[in-house]
Amino acid sequence: MRRGRQTPTFEVVGAYDRTDGPEAVALFARYGVSFIPAQAYEMDLYLAKNELGEAEAINIGLSRPRQNGKSFAARYYALWAAFIEGRNVLYSAHHAGTVRKMFKFMCDFIAANRDFSTKLKPHGGVYKAQGAEGIYLADGHLIEFSTRTNSGARGGTYDVIVVDEAQELTAEQRDALMPTTIAGDSGDPQVIYIGTPPNQKCPGTVFRDMHDRAHASELGEDWWLEWAAGEVGDPLDAERWYECNPMMGYRIKERSMRSAAQSLVREPDSFAREYLGWWDASTAAVEHVISEKAWALCETDEPPEPRVTCAGVKFGPDRATLAYCLRPAEGAAYVEWVDTRPLSEGVGWVAAWLDARRDKVATVAIDGGSTAALTTRLADIGFPKRAVVVAGPRDMAKAVSMLTNAVAERDLAHYGQEELTASATLTARRRIGQDGVGFEDAGGADATLIEACALALWQARTTKRRPGRKAVVY
């Protein structure tokens, strides 16, 4: 059977004294793990050593098309590093689902193989709490797992960091991760970056910069390897499928690739990027509205006692998002995301939430395509008409401006919800009207969360309505 190309189409790899890659591949083979040649080659590079026995390359970048087993070798490298070499490992990814999947893979392998499971701590060897997953060995070493939004906050020091979904990695996220390797026990740090070529809405800059420096011969002592087409070309050209996909003939079949190519024959650039690893030179970094650092400085553990409570509802093309804002008598206003649900579930859940709090919510601001459906439902349940504000484009721009200024001046608080943080810091800038600014989905983040918060803040700062306040009669 024909197989895909097993050597990179382009690489920048220096000389090394030796590698423990073959030994690691042989070890895991005893437990039924099979590496294709491309994955065995990655193990060679991850475990390449200098004459002192240290990692030859401190930073290694790997770019492959999707569904080509990019993280397979890194999974077993992490196990080798912790269980065989006695090193502390952090596995980091952009999406929580990716983190959970990698954690489960490693846990399943350990549970199935007594040689590994007996090395765990007798109690608490596997910690499964979402957002704080970890594997802990009796000798004190560990593998911890984290999304990028809280990787820098885990408080540990690591010898090895595996950065999956590296195309999403921003400079600020990298800067939060890097100090965790400096004080590692081994004094032998290493960072493995694994990703795919970014699209135009991808927020990351680090992986692209690494790619560009590799192709400009400016990578220094770092290493880079990729499987990638050099041009968009013809999606139906089967030769390029095999040239750029090492998993062709293994997990990827010609029939499946042909189907994908036919479905994207009118979008050859999308096919080239997703299925052939093509790097689009015109892809620019996403321009964000709020920086991660500024947003992080606004985090709090104690919401204020509200003087005014307002809600915001933002409708996207296929979803509705609800948030609220608490404005205290003094100090920063506080925003919190409540929920986001598909429009297929209707708007009744929003109306029910507001109705249950009609004696507390001064106003609710609503923006987006399904506004009429919600205002009608609120009228049907007798929600006060004066408490419902339908926002227009100018109002939305004003609300976003108010929120971004509040973040810049640390006059806003939130408690660090992961989804809201992504919405605030990973989404892209969009234009509203002549000179207004809003948020747009990007980097896997949903812009409706932060815009719903902006609407709630706008109302909390401007409304004069006070539910439950008795009128003064003279």
Q: What is the pLDDT of residues 122-174, one digit of tens each?
A: 988 999 888 889 999 999 999 999 987 644 545 578 999 999 999 999 887 88
- Specify the CATH number of the domain 10-276: 3.40.50.300
E strands within 242-401? 308-315, 319-327, 333-342, 361-367, 388-390
Cβ neighbours of residue 440 closer than 8 Å, sequence gap 6 or more? 427, 428, 429, 430, 447
pLDDT, position 233: 93
Mean pLDDT of 272-300: 86
Extents of the domains making up the chain: 10-276, 292-462
Percent of the residues in the chain that have a pLDDT greater than 90, as a whole number: 79
Say which range, 60-69, 84-93, 137-146, 465-474, has the weakest mean pLDDT. 465-474
pLDDT at 2 over 60: yes
> Both tokens of residue 229?
């087409």
- DSSP 8-state symbol, 418: H
**452 neighbors 312 (Cβ within 8 angstroms):** yes
44 alpha-carbon distance from chain centroid: 28
For residue range 302-351, list pLDDT tens digits in order.
999 999 999 999 999 899 999 999 999 999 999 999 999 999 999 999 99
> Both tokens of residue 334?
């506080």
- DSSP 8-state symbol, 47: T
**47 neighbors 80 (Cβ within 8 angstroms):** yes
The alpha carbon dihedral of 342, 66, 92, 82 has a sign of positive
pLDDT, position 444: 81
Element (H, E) at 258: helix 254-263
Q: Is the pTM here over 0.85, yes or no?
A: no
**Which position has the higher pLDDT, 470 or 392?**
392
Mean pLDDT of 257-286: 87
pLDDT at 283 over 80: no
Mean pLDDT of 411-437: 90
CA end-to-end span of the chain, whole Å?
Answer: 93
pLDDT at 398 over 90: yes
Element (H, E) at 91: strand 89-93
Q: Are strands 160-163 and 142-147 parallel, antiparallel or unpaired?
A: unpaired
pLDDT at 286 over 80: no
**132 neighbors 158 (Cβ within 8 angstroms):** no
For residue range 180-216, list pLDDT tens digits in order.
665 556 678 999 999 999 987 787 889 999 999 999 8
pLDDT, position 153: 46
For residue range 11-43, list pLDDT tens digits in order.
999 999 999 999 999 999 999 999 999 999 999
Q: Is 358 helix (H, G, I), strand (E, B) or coil?
A: coil
pLDDT, position 432: 86
In this structure, the chain runs to a length of 474
pLDDT at 370 over 70: yes
Mean per-residue pLDDT over the chain, rounded: 91
Q: What confidence tier does 90 reach under pLDDT thresholds 50, 70, 90?
A: very high
pLDDT, position 155: 59
For residue range 212-231, list pLDDT tens digits in order.
999 989 899 999 999 999 99
Q: Is 322 helix (H, G, I), strand (E, B) or coil?
A: strand
**Which position has the higher pLDDT, 96 or 60?**
60
For residue range 407-420, list pLDDT tens digits in order.
999 999 999 999 99
pLDDT, position 211: 94
Same topology for domains 10-276 and 292-462, yes or no? no
Rounded CA-CA distance 427/280 in Å is: 20
Mean pLDDT of 115-120: 96
Q: Are strands 134-136 and 333-342 parallel, antiparallel or unpaired?
A: unpaired
The alpha carbon dihedral of 397, 402, 408, 414 has a sign of negative
Burial category of 405 from C-beta neighbours within 10 Å (exposed 0-12, middle 13-18, buried 19 and up): exposed
pLDDT, position 259: 96
- Specify the CATH number of the domain 292-462: 3.30.420.240
Nearest to 82 by CA among 19, 160, 26: 160
192 alpha-carbon distance from chain centroid: 17
pLDDT, position 191: 95
pLDDT at 179 over 80: no
Element (H, E) at 63: strand 59-63
Percent of the residues in the chain that have a pLDDT greater than 70, as a whole number: 94
